[in-house]
Amino acid sequence: MDKSQILKEFSADPDKYYNVKLFQEQGFVRKACSKCGRFFWTLNADRTLCPDDGTDTYSFIGEPPTTKRFDYTQAWKQVEEFFVKNNHTSVSRYPVVCRWRDDLFFTIASVVDFQRVMGSKVVFEFPANPLVVPQTCLRFKDLENVGVTGRHFSSFCMIGQHSVPDLGGYWKDECVDLDFRLLTDQFGIKKEEVVFVEDVWSGGGSFGPSLEYFVRGLELGNAVFTEFQGELGQHSTLDQRVIDMGAGLERFAWITNGTPTAYDCCFGPINEKLFSTIGIDSDSEILKKYFTEIAKEIDNYDDLNKVRRLAIKNANITDDQLNKMIIPLEGVYLIADHLRTLIFAITDGALPSNVGGGYNLRMMLRRINGTINRLNLKLDMDDLIDTHIDYLKDTYPELDEKREDVKAILKIESSRYEESKIHMKKKAEKIREKGTPSVDELITLYESDGITPEYLKEVDAITEIPSQFYSKLSDLHQSEKKKTITALPLEDLPETETLFYKDDPMEFEAQVIKVFDDQVVLNRTSFYARGGGQEPDLGTIAGFKVVNVDKHANTIVHQLEGGVPAEGDTVLCKVDEIRRSNITKNHTSTHIINASSRKVLGSWIWQHSAFKDDDHARLDITHHSSLSDSEVKQIEDEANDMIKQNYPVNIDYYDRGTAEQKYGFRIYQGGVVPVKSVRIVSIEDKDIEACGGTHVKKTGDIELIKITKTKRIQDGVVRVEFVSGPTAFQYVKDQEVESKQKVQDDIAKQALEKLREENKNKAREQIPILLEKVLAGESGELDGITVKNKVCFTSSDSYDDYFHQNFGKKLTSKDDESAYCGIFETGPTIRVMVFSGVNSGVNAGEIAKEISTILGGSGGGDVKFAQGGGKDTSKKEQAIKKAKSMILG
Ligand SMILES: [Zn+2]
Ligand SMILES: [Zn+2]
Transcribe 49-86 into DSSP letters.
Answer: S-TTT-TTTTTTTTS-S-S----HHHHHHHHHHHHHHT
Residue 608 φ/ψ region, left for φ over 0, alpha for ψ in the -120 to 50 degree band, beta for the rest? alpha
The ligand placed nearest to the CA atom of residue 50 is: 1
Selection from 817, 773, 815, 804 nearest residue 883 by Cα: 804
Residue range 234-249: mean pLDDT, rounded: 93
Please tell me the number of the ligand nearest to residue 37's CA.
Answer: 1
Q: Are 525 and 546 in contact (CB under 8 A)?
A: no
* Nearest-angstrom CA–CA distance, 809 and 320: 81
- Residue 120 is predicted with a pLDDT of 64
Dist CA 837 CA 840 (whole Å): 5
Q: By three-state DSSP, how is residue 394 classified?
A: coil
pLDDT tens digit sequence for 270-296: 988 888 888 877 667 888 889 888 988
3-state secondary structure 703-748: CCEEEEEEEEEECCEEEEEEEEHHHHHHHHHHHHHHHHHHHHHHHH
- Specify the length of the chain in residues: 889
Helix (H) or strand (E) holding 855: none
Kindly give the distance from the C-alpha atom of residue 333 to the centroid of ligand 1, in angstroms, as a whole number: 31
Q: Which bound ligand lies closest to the C-alpha atom of 55?
A: 1
Residues 6+ apart with CB under 8 A from 326: 290, 312, 317
- Cα 556 to ligand 2 centroid, rounded to whole Å: 19
Q: Is the pLDDT of residue 476 over 80?
A: no
Q: Tell how far the Cα of 96 is from the centroid of ligand 2, in angstroms.
A: 24
Rounded Cα–Cα distance for residues 653 and 690 (Å)? 9
**CA 619, CA 693: separation in Å to the nearest integer?**
15
Strands (E), 450-581: 497-498, 507-516, 519-522, 524-525, 539-541, 544-552, 555-561, 570-575
Other C-beta atoms lying within 10 Å of the C-beta of residue 231 = 10
Taking the CA of 53 as reference, the closest ligand is 1
Q: Which amino acid belongs to residue 408?
A: A
Neighbours of 885 (CB within 10 A): 10
Q: Which amino acid is at 454?
A: E
pLDDT for 96 beyond 70: yes
Q: Cα–Cα distance between 525 and 510 in angstroms, integer?
A: 7
Mean pLDDT of 706-728: 93
How far is ligand 2, taken at its centre, from the CA of residue 591, in Å? Answer: 6
**Among the bound ligands, the one closest to the CA of 32:** 1
Ligand nearest the Cα atom of residue 299:
1
pTM (predicted TM-score): 0.77
Stated as kind and residue range, the H or E segment containing 880 is helix 876-888
Confidence band (pLDDT; 50, 70, 90) for 20?
very high
Cα–ligand 1 centroid distance for 139 (angstroms): 27
* Residue 485 pLDDT class (50, 70, 90 cuts): very low
Average pLDDT (842-848) is 91
Ligand nearest, relative to CA of residue 591 = 2
Quote the ligand 1 centre to 581 CA distance (angstroms): 70
Least confident interval from 482-486, 626-630, 794-798: 482-486
Q: Which ligand is nearest to the CA of 619?
A: 2
Using pLDDT thresholds of 50, 70 and 90, give the confidence band for residue 486.
Answer: very low
Ligand 1 centroid distance, CA of 211 (Å): 15
Ligand 1 centroid vs 50 CA: distance in angstroms? 4
Distance 640 CA to ligand 2 centre (A): 18
211 — pLDDT class (breaks 50, 70, 90): very high
Whether a cis peptide bond, with omega within 30° of 0, leads into 127 is no
Instruction: For residue 507, report the distance from its CA to the centre of ligand 2, in Å.
Output: 24
Q: Where are the beta strands (DSSP E) in 84-204?
A: 89-90, 115-118, 121-124, 131-138, 155-163, 194-203
564 vs 512: CA distance, rounded Å:
10
Per the CB < 8 A criterion, the answer to whether 866 and 848 are in contact is: yes
Taking the CA of 692 as reference, the closest ligand is 2
Task: Quickly list DSSP for 245-312.
Answer: EEEEHHHHHHHHH--SSGGGGTSTTHHHHHHHHHT--TT-HHHHHHHHHHHHHTTT-S-HHHHHHHHH
Helices vs. strands in the chain: H and E counts, helices first: 26, 33
* Weakest mean pLDDT among 263-272, 283-292, 460-469, 687-696: 460-469
pLDDT computed for residue 445 by the predictor: 81
119 or 114: which leads in pLDDT: 114
Position with higher pLDDT, 872 vs 636: 636
- 34 CA → ligand 1 middle, Å: 7
pLDDT at position 119: 64
User: How far away, in angstroms, is 48 Cα from ligand 1 center?
Assistant: 9
What residues form DSSP beta bridges with 787? 780, 792
- Parallel/antiparallel/unpaired status of strands 617-622 and 717-724: antiparallel
Ligand nearest to the CA of 197: 1
- Closest ligand, as measured to the CA of 590: 2
Rounded CA-CA distance 416/104 in Å is 27
The CA 291 to ligand 1 mean position distance, Å, reads 21
pLDDT in tens, 538-589: 999 999 999 999 988 788 999 999 999 999 999 999 999 999 999 999 999 9
Q: What are phi and psi of 740, to 5 degrees?
A: -65, -45
Q: Which amino acid is at 553?
A: A
Average pLDDT in the chain: 90
CB 245 within 8 A of CB 224: yes
- Compute, in angstroms, the gap from residue 195 CA to the centroid of ligand 1: 12
Specify the pLDDT at position 304: 87
Q: Using the mean position of ligand 2's atoms as its centre, give its distance from the Cα of residue 692 in Å.
A: 7
Angle at 271 between CA 267 and CA 274, to 5 degrees: 140
Q: Give the mean model confidence (pLDDT) for residues 21-33.
A: 97
Find the Cα–Cα–Cα–Cα dihedral 92, 98, 101, 102, rounded to 10°.
-170
Q: What is the pLDDT of residue 757?
A: 81
Out of 235-239, 312-316, 479-483, least confident range: 479-483
Instruction: Give the ligand whose atoms come closest to the C-alpha of residue 610.
Output: 2
Residue 39 Cα, ligand 1 centroid: separation in angstroms?
Answer: 8
Instruction: Tell me how far the alpha carbon of residue 35 lies from the centroid of ligand 1, in angstroms.
Output: 5
* Residue 284 amino acid letter: S
**Per-residue pLDDT at 482 exceeds 70:** no
| Cα–Cα distance for residue pair 133/449, rounded to 1 Å | 40
Nearest to 852 by CA among 860, 864, 863, 844: 860
Q: What percent of the chain stands above pLDDT 90?
A: 63
Contacts from 192-195 at CB under 8 Å and sequence distance 24+?
Answer: 192/42, 192/43, 192/44, 193/65, 194/42, 194/43, 195/40, 195/41, 195/42, 195/47, 195/50, 195/51
468 residue type, one letter: Q
Q: What 3-state DSSP class applies to 509? A: strand
* CA 234 to ligand 1 center in whole angstroms: 30
Q: What is the C-alpha separation between 570 and 25, in angstroms, rounded?
A: 73
Q: Residue 480 above 50 pLDDT?
A: no
Sheet with 829-836: list strands edge to edge.
780-782, 785-788, 791-794, 819-826, 829-836, 865-870, 858-861
Q: Does residue 43 contact residue 233 with C-beta atoms inside 8 Å?
A: no
Cα radius of gyration rounded to whole Å, the chain = 38
Q: What pLDDT, in 10s, does the model give residues 738-764?
A: 999 999 999 998 988 888 788 778 878
Question: Is 80 exceeded by the pLDDT of residue 36?
Answer: yes
Please, is 464 exposed, middle or buried when counting C-beta atoms within 10 Å of its C-beta (0-12, 13-18, 19+)? exposed
Q: Which residue has the higher pLDDT, 764 or 515?
A: 515
**What spacing in Å lies between the alpha carbon of 54 and ligand 1's midpoint?**
7
What is the CA(694)–ligand 2 centre distance, in A? 8
Taking the centre of ligand 1 as the mean of its atom positions, its distance from the CA of residue 213, in whole angstroms, is: 14
CA–centroid distance, residue 459 to ligand 2 (Å): 49
Q: Is 561 in contact with 544 (CB distance < 8 Å)?
A: yes
Which of 141-145, 315-319, 419-423, 602-606 comes out lowest in average pLDDT?
419-423
- Percent of the chain exceeding pLDDT 70 equals 98
Torsion of CA 403, 409, 413, 418, to 10 degrees: 60
CA of 350 from ligand 2 middle (Å) equals 21
Q: What is the pLDDT of residue 478?
A: 54
For residue 202, the CA-to-ligand 2 centroid distance in Å is 37
Distance from the alpha carbon of residue 310 to the mean position of ligand 2, in angstroms: 57
pLDDT reading at 449 higher than 80: no
Interval between CA 725 and ligand 2 midpoint (Å): 17
Backbone φ and ψ for 515, nearest 5 degrees, come out as: -130, 125
